[in-house]
Amino acid sequence: MSGTLNNRLLRLPGIELSPVSHTERALSAIGGFPGIYAILQVSNTFVGPLAATFMGDRAYVR
């Protein structure tokens, strides 16, 4: 009973326990890094370097 309830609760936010291949994980990581970098660059452009440090890593502030 608790196993099915646990699975239902995990599916609610979109977490599913299905097997994922290494290729799919690699593609996800390759797509994730440019997305995070783009968000940091856009935040740096629009709010400035001082405020962007609160949103991301200080290494990206010029």
Q: What is the pLDDT of residues 15-54, one digit of tens each?
A: 666 788 889 889 988 998 898 888 888 888 887 777 666 6
Tokens of 46: 């629009």
Query: CA neighbours within 13 Å on the CB side: how many for 10?
Result: 10
Banded model confidence at residue 1, pLDDT cuts 50, 70, 90: very low
The rounded distance, in Å, linking the Cα atoms of 39 and 61 is 13
Q: Is the pLDDT of residue 10 over 60?
A: yes
Q: Supply φ then ψ for residue 9, to 5 degrees.
A: -65, -35
At residue 14, the pLDDT reads 67
Alpha carbon separation from 58 to 22, 49, 55 (Å, rounded)? 31, 9, 9
The rounded distance, in Å, linking the Cα atoms of 22 and 26 is 6
